[in-house]
């Protein structure tokens, strides 16, 4: 039976689909890791980076939670003992006192440090400046989101209004919220910090510049470490005598 143009087009389509699947699989195997500090970051980074145009499957990006700045060095050490030891890693960290201290001694050519937020927002004791995930967003959005019913369960409009009066955008935000609710008889530990960050991420417009810069960094690293097709195997050794 003669091959028709439809047969050729069908074969090309199947080949294209297979190649796409192969490259997506290769991208995952040759992933770029984004290390995040905790559950709040794990909950919102994917959403915000996708909004910045990052395609996690196509670009081969994996978010990994190192569960607190104190665990960062152990997490890096463990990663370097796995099959992913040769993968580039973006280590994101809160630019607070603990974060500044822990990342100071990291020296690894495959690790790119990325502070959150990129531009200092608050001042810490001792005069150093920086911030954390909450300070990536606007002060108004932080106040509004802090008193959602699923963040502070006993909150009301008066609490929000009172907090907005005493809130100082140049001092660490979450610690102010914690102190304020404690003064109103609410345990600071009951604040749903993950939901707070999710609420801000869902409502922010525009996307914070820190996440735009992080997406740009991922894409630049992907250009430096392009995904290689498993079909591109170097057979030059066969010509050796």
pLDDT of residue 228: 79
| Residue 100 vs residues 132, 144, 149, 179, 214: alpha-carbon distances, Å | 11, 29, 33, 24, 18
Residues pairing with 94 in the sheet:
116
Who wins on pLDDT, 87 or 114? 114
CATH architecture type of domain 21-120+205-228: 3-Layer(aba) Sandwich (3.40)
When the pLDDT of each residue in the chain is averaged and rounded to a whole number, the result is 87
E strand or H helix that includes residue 89: strand 89-94
Whether the pLDDT of residue 77 is over 80: the answer is yes
Span 157-186, pLDDT tens digits: 899 999 999 999 999 999 999 999 999 999
Span 96-128, pLDDT tens digits: 999 999 999 899 999 999 999 999 999 998 899
Range of weakest confidence among 49-63, 76-90, 114-128: 76-90
């Amino acid at each position: 039976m003669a091959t028709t143009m439809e047969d050729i087009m069908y074969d090309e389509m199947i080949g294209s689909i297979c190649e796409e699947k192969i490259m997506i699989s290769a991208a995952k195997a040759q992933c770029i890791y984004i290390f995040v500090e905790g559950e709040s970051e794990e909950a919102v980074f994917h959403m915000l980076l996708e909004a910045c145009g990052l395609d996690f499957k196509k670009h081969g990006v994996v978010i990994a939670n190192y569960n607190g700045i104190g665990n960062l060095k152990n997490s890096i050490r463990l990663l370097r003992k796995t099959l992913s030891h040769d993968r580039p890693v973006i280590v994101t960290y809160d630019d607070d006192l603990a974060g500044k201290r822990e990342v100071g001694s990291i020296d690894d050519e495959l690790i790119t440090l990325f502070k959150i937020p990129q531009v200092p927002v608050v001042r810490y004791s001792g005069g150093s400046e920086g911030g954390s995930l909450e300070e990536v967003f606007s002060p108004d959005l932080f106040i509004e989101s802090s008193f959602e019913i699923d963040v502070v369960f006993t909150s009301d409009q008066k609490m929000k209004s009172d907090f907005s009066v005493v809130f100082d955008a140049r001092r660490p935000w979450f610690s102010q919220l914690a102190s304020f609710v404690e003064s109103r008889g609410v345990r600071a530990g009951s604040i749903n910090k993950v939901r707070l960050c999710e609420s801000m991420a869902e409502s922010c417009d525009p996307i914070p510049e820190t996440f735009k810069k992080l997406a740009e960094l991922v894409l630049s690293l992907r250009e430096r470490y392009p995904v290689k097709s498993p079909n591109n195997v170097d057979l030059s050794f066969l010509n050796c005598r």
